[in-house]
Amino acid sequence: MKLTFLGTGAGIPSKERNVSAIVLNTANANNELWLFDCGEATQHQILHTSLKPRKINKIFITHLHGDHIFGLPGLISSRSFLGGDDTLTIYGPLGIKQFVETSLQVTDTHLAYPIEFVEITEATSIFEDDQFVVDVELLDHGVFSLAYRVTEKDKLGELHVQKLKDLGIKPGPIYREIKDNEQTTLEDGTILYRKDFLGADKKGKKLAIFGDTKYVPQQASFIQDVDVVVHEATFSADKEDLAYKYNHSTTKQAALLAKDANVGALILTHISSRYQKGDEAVLLEEAQTIFPNTFIAHDFYEYNIK
């Protein structure tokens, strides 16, 4: 799985950072793309990448502030023109359905595909299929704001090919049948049990993406042991009072949360425009002093989840 950051700034776009948008390539059979937030000009940012809007089939909105949703109407409309015809599901706080439908109605926009809305009002599990589970947690931002945790289910281990060959079973479709079924009956009546021919399960990956929030130490339980957490760091470590006043977090606070949760890696985003490119090293050092495996995202930054 891979994260691509299309926008990493807070509040308003700047020359160096667009507003919030992150794409997750799920690395499933269809390489589906999941979009987390959709700030203004997200579709413009996509033009500078190899990402295909028609591949986006899920959009997760953390909260309804404009710097996280103003790009939705344009992207949704363009997706229709660019060959997207399968259902798009949009998850987000109560009100996201009204925002999207009103935008499309007022502009007389007609789509070539249906939209399904899942409006969230509490901390709960919002999605599950044979590969992923998505859960949400409520944050503290003055408005209803969410963190999303994506859990990839464990995968079956590798097939012990040599063990099958030693039994005289030659490579072919039978190998797939053995791996796909708990037991397989051969032509001679022999019953093979899958568990006897598989290695240990491959552990699924876990990641969490936070919307805007104050520092709340108790949130560590939601992200315990995830492989990577993406967290806002609107302010530098010396601006805790300002962060609290405006319902945001500092670099230091994000690092403390990551440390307490024993996560694999921390990626800082949602950086205030008061900080220029030359300030990034200082912001990063503030977090790395507490949690060494910290990175700071910039627009078009990519992170492979290992």
Give the residue from 7, 34, 32, 11 showing the smallest Cα distance to 21: 7
- Fill in the amino acid letter for 37: D
**Residues taking part in catalysis:** 67
Helices and strands (DSSP H and E) totals, the chain: 9, 16
All residues at 6 or more sequence positions from 117 whose CB lies less than 8 Å from its CB, including other chains? 89, 90, 91, 92, 96, 97, 100
Helix H segments across the chain?
Answer: 42-46, 66-69, 72-81, 96-106, 161-166, 173-180, 240-245, 251-261, 280-288
Phi and psi dihedrals of 221, rounded to 5? -65, -30
- Fill in the amino acid letter for 198: L
- Facing residues of 294 across strands? 266
Angle between helices 280-288 and 251-261 (to 10 degrees): 30
Query: Would you state the structure tokens that stand for residue 83, as one six-digit string?
Result: 């060959």
Give the residue from 133, 115, 124, 114 showing the smallest Cα distance to 93: 124
Distances (CA, A) of 121 to 80, 197, 217: 29, 45, 22
Phi and psi dihedrals of 223, rounded to 5? -110, 15
